[in-house]
Amino acid sequence: MHDERLRKPHRVLLTGWFSFRDGEATAGDVLALRRVEDVLRGTGMAYDVVWSPGFRPDALHFDGVRPHDYSHLVFVCGPLHGPQIEELHRRFAHCVRIAVGTSVIDPDGPAVTGFHRVLARDAPGSQPTEDLAARAPSVPPRPVVGVILTHGQQEYGPQRRHGQVAEHVTRWLAGKDCARLELETRLDTRDWHLSATPAQVQSVLSRLDLVVTDRLHGLVLALRVGTPVLAIDPVAGGAKVTAQARACGWPALLAADQVDGRRLERWWDWCLTSGRVAARQARETFREGRVPDGADRLVEALSATSTAG
């Protein structure tokens, strides 16, 4: 019977923890899957991938899989344990079942022994192998984008549009093929999630391709290190973000009532092209002190105040 299964035309079902309804898709697991797909494509072998409906709602899910359409089931990456994997052995009992790139914790557990073969990346008493993700096909890098939004600033009262701005911007960003980092300009010496010094904040900003922000200092600190900024003023009619963009000569600015996909896309494209040069020029302007600021006039103001006293 085992030999008869092997003589059938191969059609492989690829599964992993990224397949289960309550499972999770990690970057490592998905890259491991890409490595397996790359190998199977090289053989011309037909295969399908099962995805969690929570992660890929429009893809193939276990609810839509007909087990007898497949000769083989391959479980990719992750630890071999738990009732979800044991259920795979029951549901796909007619298939040749192989685990690849997995961690074996209990070699005698039913999740492990249910496979016809386990090509483990690590298991008790065996030499570990490289994780499958290490040799996954390379992909072009995506823009790395820092997102600095505020939900505060109660001082603007009924002019506040912070909630609407954040909703529009984050919904739009969710559809962009980019690496998003939620950042804060707030400092804290006790909370490890936050930077403790301005230098730490600047070190992050300087390594980004773009910053999207509705904060004045999100704008200034990014330009200070030469990173382009897509700025949004979250106050109706414009307030300090608009004023600061004007003072810095920075054009990539949207008013609260202008936040839509078309305008966001326009400034996104500009920031990642011409805006790179403009941001470096802004950085040099700051460094050279070409434009006077309040500190330049402070001594005069102090002297005048002293004389008046």
Each residue's pLDDT tens digit, 134-156: 999 998 999 999 999 988 778 88
Instruction: Look at residue 8 in the predicted model and tell me its pLDDT.
Output: 54
Rounded-to-integer distance, Cα 180 and Cα 144, Å: 6
User: 14: left (phi > 0), else alpha (psi -120 to 50), else beta?
Assistant: beta
Mean pLDDT of 230-244: 95
DSSP 170: H
Average pLDDT along the chain? 93
Contact 94, 68 (CB under 8 A): yes
Beta strands in the chain (DSSP E): 11-15, 46-49, 72-76, 96-103, 117-122, 144-148, 179-182, 210-213, 229-233, 253-255
- Exposure letters 74-91 (e unless 16+ CB within 10 A, then b): bbbbbebbeebbbebbee
Instruction: Look at residue 157 in the predicted model and tell me its pLDDT.
Output: 81
Instruction: Name the pLDDT band for 2 (thresholds 50, 70, 90).
Output: very low
DSSP 69: G
Mean pLDDT of 100-121: 97
Instruction: Name the pLDDT band for 309 (thresholds 50, 70, 90).
Output: low
Q: Picking from 54-58, 179-183, 206-210, 262-266, which range would have the lowest pLDDT averaged per residue? A: 54-58
Q: Picking from 8-22, 72-86, 269-283, which range would have the lowest pLDDT averaged per residue? A: 8-22
Indicate whether 210 pLDDT > 90.
Answer: yes
- Using CA of residue 221, residue 226, residue 229, residue 235, what is the dihedral sign? positive
Contact 92, 74 (CB under 8 A): no
Mean pLDDT of 235-263: 95
Q: What length is written for the chain?
A: 309
Instruction: Look at residue 152 in the predicted model and tell me its pLDDT.
Output: 76
Mean pLDDT of 112-121: 98
Instruction: Look at residue 306 in the predicted model and tell me its pLDDT.
Output: 61
What percent of the chain lies above the pLDDT cut of 70? 95
